[in-house]
C-alpha cells in the first residue's frame, strides 16, 4: 500500500495524475482521505485566485493590444498627521500571475512576500515621495498629484497609458481614473503594495528617530497615543503642520 508520505509527494506534482486521485479516493485510511480533502481545497483556492486575477486584469487586457506598457499608479499615506505620502508606478508584464490585491486587504506578511516578487517581475517600477514640508506647501491632494506624475515620468520604460486609483495625473498622460482601482486592476494593486511597503519601512525608520509617537504602529495616523505624544513631546520635522491637530499644537507652542 502506498505510504501517506508517498501520496504527499505525488500530490506535489503538477499536474497530479488522475490515477493518484482515484487511488486516494479508494484508500480507506483517514490520513489518505484528509490528504484528498486538502488537495481539493488547494485546487479550489487556486481556481478562485486565478478567477480573481482574471477579473482584476480586465482593464489591462482591454488596453494592452493598443498600449503594451501600462503603468498602474497608487498612493499611500494621504491621511496621516506625520510622514510622507508615497506613490508608486508599476508596469507589469502581460503574463503576470501573482495574486495581487488592494494592499489594505493583505496582511503585512503577505505584502512583504509579494513586494520583492513584484519588483523582480515588473517591467519597471518607480516611486514618488512628498515629505511634510512639501505637503504643507502644496496641500496634500496636489502634492499627491505631483508625485504621481514624477513616479510615472521616472519609469525606465515610458508608459503608453496610466491606470490610476481615483486621481488624475498631471502631465498630459493617456490615462483612466478607476474608483477602487487597487481592487480592480492588477497594475494598481501592485503599485499599492509597493507604495505601502516602502512607506511602512520609512515609518519604522522614523519611529527610531522620533520615539514616543508610536509611529511603528500607527503609521503617523492620529491615534490617541499619537495625539497624546504630540501634546507632550511636541511637533517633529515629519509632522504635517497644515493638518488640524498638528496646526493646533504649532499655534499653542508659538512655532508659527
Q: Which residues of the chain carry a pLDDT beneath 50?
A: none
Statement to judge: residues 46 and 65 lie in one domain: no
Statement to judge: residues 122 and 229 lie in one domain: no
Query: For residue 54, what pLDDT is reported?
Result: 85
Statement to judge: residues 63 and 145 lie in one domain: yes
Helix (H, G, I), strand (E, B) or coil at 105: helix
The span from the CA of 55 to the CA of 66, in Å, is 20
Statement to judge: residues 51 and 63 lie in one domain: no
The tens digit of pLDDT for each residue in 207-242 reads 999 999 999 999 999 999 999 999 999 999 999 999
Statement to judge: residues 118 and 188 lie in one domain: yes
CB of 214 closer than 8 Å to CB of 223: yes
Is residue 121 in a domain? yes
> CA 136, 146, 152: angle at the middle one, nearest 5?
150
Query: For residue 256, what pLDDT is reported?
Result: 62
Statement to judge: residues 192 and 219 lie in one domain: no
Statement to judge: residues 188 and 233 lie in one domain: no
Statement to judge: residues 70 and 168 lie in one domain: yes
CATH number at residue 81: 3.30.420.10
Is residue 201 in a domain? no
Domain hosting 9: range is 4-56
Is residue 15 in a domain? yes
Count of the separate structural domains present in the chain: 3
The span from the CA of 243 to the CA of 239, in Å, is 9
DSSP string, 194-247: HHHHHHHHHHHHHHHHSTTS-HHHHTT---HHHHHHHHHH---TTB-TTSHHHH
pTM equals 0.87
Is residue 82 in a domain? yes
Statement to judge: residues 93 and 180 lie in one domain: yes
Is residue 14 in a domain? yes
Statement to judge: residues 69 and 189 lie in one domain: yes
The span from the CA of 192 to the CA of 163, in Å, is 12
Statement to judge: residues 112 and 33 lie in one domain: no
Query: For residue 191, what pLDDT is reported?
Result: 97
Is residue 161 in a domain? yes
Statement to judge: residues 113 and 229 lie in one domain: no
Is residue 12 in a domain? yes
Cell of 188: 494598481
Query: For residue 158, what pLDDT is reported?
Result: 97
Amino acid at each position: 500500500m502506498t505510504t501517506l508520505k508517498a501520496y504527499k509527494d505525488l500530490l506535489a506534482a503538477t499536474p497530479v495524475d488522475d490515477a493518484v486521485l482515484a487511488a486516494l479516493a479508494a484508500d480507506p485510511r483517514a490520513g489518505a482521505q484528509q490528504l484528498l480533502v486538502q488537495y481539493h481545497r488547494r485546487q479550489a483556492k487556486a481556481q478562485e485566485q486565478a478567477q480573481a486575477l482574471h477579473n482584476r486584469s480586465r482593464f489591462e487586457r482591454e488596453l494592452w493590444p493598443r498600449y503594451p506598457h501600462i503603468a498602474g499608479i497608487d498612493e499611500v499615506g494621504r491621511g496621516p498627521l506625520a510622514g510622507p505620502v508615497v506613490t508608486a508606478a508599476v508596469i507589469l508584464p502581460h503574463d503576470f500571475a501573482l495574486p495581487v490585491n488592494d494592499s489594505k486587504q493583505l496582511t503585512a506578511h503577505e505584502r512583504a512576500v509579494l513586494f520583492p516578487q513584484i519588483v523582480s517581475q515588473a517591467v519597471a517600477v518607480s516611486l514618488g515621495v512628498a515629505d511634510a514640508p512639501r505637503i504643507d506647501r502644496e496641500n496634500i491632494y496636489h502634492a499627491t498629484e505631483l508625485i504621481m506624475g514624477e513616479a510615472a515620468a521616472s519609469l525606465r520604460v515610458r508608459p503608453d497609458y496610466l491606470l490610476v486609483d481615483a486621481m488624475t495625473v498631471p502631465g498630459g498622460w493617456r490615462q483612466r481614473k478607476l474608483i477602487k482601482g487597487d481592487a480592480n486592476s492588477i497594475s494598481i494593486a501592485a503599485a499599492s503594495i509597493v507604495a505601502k511597503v516602502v512607506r511602512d519601512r520609512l515609518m519604522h525608520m522614523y519611529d527610531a528617530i522620533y520615539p514616543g509617537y508610536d509611529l511603528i504602529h500607527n503609521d503617523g495616523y492620529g491615534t490617541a497615543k499619537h495625539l497624546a505624544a504630540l501634546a507632550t513631546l511636541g511637533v517633529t520635522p515629519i509632522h504635517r503642520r497644515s493638518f488640524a491637530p498638528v496646526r493646533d499644537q504649532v499655534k499653542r507652542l508659538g512655532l508659527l
